[in-house]
Structure 1
């Protein structure tokens, strides 16, 4: 598909996130939304078996975690009618996600605008996106 790049998941559909990441694992959708591109990533964060698994040399007493990139996609922002549509497309394409796991996904995106109460009224460099409401998007997508 023109203007679309994606790297497919490392977890096949027949494996659960818990079976790969362990009982304390979490799925995160992280996004960088700009006037040109919507870059979205699906990450699995889990407890690391030991310090060498974290990629960190920190001596912190914080729990050690490991982050794995499961899926990545980049869409031209002009091809996305809204943030909701971009996220819906991403979640439908991400092989590691199914409906049962969607309610456990945390979604965090950076937008080029002010956010107040999880809402953005207008994004200057994405004029076709109006009234972006994070709570409504989460409800519609089951996040």
Structure 2
């Protein structure tokens, strides 16, 4: 499996499901590969509340990166890799690396083109406002691994 060759230890599917808008994989798909799987059944629509899964996704990414004494690699994906999964990664950077929304989006865009839908952008803005009010944003990248 190509993911194993790339050293991926964990997969976060932010489009789990069986419709044409989703990616039909689950934990069984990765059985015997040594890859830990987590799926989130998210729709790529402006009305879908992806923010309800921000903490769950961030927790999985944290555990993935801490795996094997910090040598874990996590592959975060959705159907197109353009809206749902980038939104989840941006939320992770905000929640765990204290980046504001603009810096987190710019950090992800530096690696690839992304286009979270308007609803997801609004949810990231709301998260930004919440974290700012709580004093949990500092805009520093810190020791972030981006490879």
The structure whose RCO (Cα within 8 Å, separation 6+) is larger is 1
More strand by share: 1
Which structure has the greater CA radius of gyration? 1
Q: TM-score range by the shorter chain?
A: 0.3 to 0.5
Larger proportion of helix: 2
Give TM-score scaled by structure 2 length: 0.32
